[in-house]
A = this chain, B = another copy of it.
Amino acid sequence: MAIRIGAGTIRLEKPVAIAATAAVGSRMEKEGPLGAEFDRLVEDSSFGEKSWEKAETKMQTLAIELALQKGNTTAEQVDVMLGGDLLNQCIASAYAVREQGRPFLGLYGACSTMAESLTLASLLVESGAARKALAVTSSHFCSSERQFRFPLDYGGVRTPTAQHTATAAGAALVGMAGPITVREVCIGRVVDLGVTDMNNMGAAMAPAAWDTLRQYFTDTGTSPADYDKIITGDLAQVGSDLLVRLAAEENCDLRPRYTDCGLMLYEREKQQVDAGASGCGCSAAVMCAHFLPAMQQGKYRNILFMATGALMSPTACQQGESIPGIAHLLHLTAKGGTN
């Protein structure tokens, strides 16, 4: 039974756990600060395929297979897979799960997808609808640039607010037992403060991040000091600064606990990624390569993970629409973790 706490938070009464995770990346991710923590790094970002889209499918397939392997689980033991990605019609996921032959729920949450899939996977396991569920997502720099901005060959100049889409995939196996427990989830609302700059996703997402985080703090009566880490998906420099400022305006100091996956995946100056990393694969890989394994090793015991998505459509932007943001939150604890 899931219990509603306050106006927007859902507490999981039965034990739901993240049993195993896997992260896959490419050359840029290898050269970044977290390179050594990935499960698989394929330097050739084509992954041996003939198109960037097929490469992304291959990368997501690798993440699924590695997570299953690390969880000593066969695909047949997974009752449902939940995933999505940034490509139109979410084809990276559709073609990746096609090979698995398991029930599939396709999601679209832009870069919030890892939190959305983990939230739903956790709720389905808690309710008994699934014994094991797998959450997966990916992004690929080259397929994203072509679809959302310019073909790579065009050599478009980037703005300082732009973020570099991670070429990465993350998969997490959710079940009834495992080292990391899912305590609560908070499903976010679509928030849009009118940002229209397609090269400033961080600014578009920050208000949604604060909306969800404030809801969760209000519902649970907790504050940043109650957590070891508060981790957002891919706000990068511009969005992170904005989130900290939005929180400060309501007398909430996030800084002592706060970090953002978009600031962790690359060395910004050296790797020339402007404001930082982005893409569904960014927070998926940083969580699956770094934070969730670190929790398993006892380095963190009590965290909030909130992936943020900019529901940005080139068509809508060309029609003068602003970019809506969304953010979903999970409260995770490891053995000995409180709250």
Residues 183-202 of chain A: 1 if any B CB is under 8 Å from the residue's CB, otherwise 0? 00011111110000000000
B190, A51: Cβ atoms closer than 8 Å:
no
User: Does A53 touch B at the CB level, under 8 Å?
Assistant: yes
Inter-chain contacts of A315 with B (CB < 8 A): 53, 87-88, 91, 147
Given A79-B4, A108-B89, A313-B87, A101 and B189 contact (CB-CB distance below 8 Å): yes
* CB–CB B94/A324 < 8 A: yes
Given contacts A108-B106, A108-B108, A127-B127, contact A91 B8 (CB under 8 A): no
Q: Determine if A270 is an interface residue (Cβ-Cβ < 8 Å).
A: no
Residues of B within 8 A of A43 (CB): none
| CB-based nearest B residue for A148 | B89
Alpha-carbon distance between A188 and B101 when the two chains are bound, in angstroms: 9
- In the bound complex, do residue A129 and residue B188 qualify as a contact, i.e. CB atoms below 8 Å apart? no
A126 interfacial by beta-carbon distance below 8 Å? yes
Count the copies: 2
Pick from B97, B106, B321: contact of A95, CB below 8 A. B321
Q: Of A116-124, A172-180, A288-296, which binds chain B? A: A116-124
Q: Using CB atoms and an 8 Å cutoff, list the residues of chain A in contact with chain B.
A: 1-4, 8, 10, 50-51, 53-54, 79-80, 84, 87-91, 94-95, 97-98, 101-110, 116, 119-120, 123-124, 126-131, 147, 186-192, 311-316, 319, 321, 324, 326
Q: Which one of B53, B97, B324 contacts A319 once the chains associate, using CB atoms below 8 Å? A: B53
Contact A97 B190 (CB under 8 A): yes
Residues of B within 8 A of A104 (CB): 187-190, 326
- CB of A105 within 8 A of CB of B120, answer yes
Of all A-B residue pairs in the complex, the 5 with the closest CB atoms, nearest first, are A127-B127, A103-B187, A2-B129, A89-B313, A108-B108
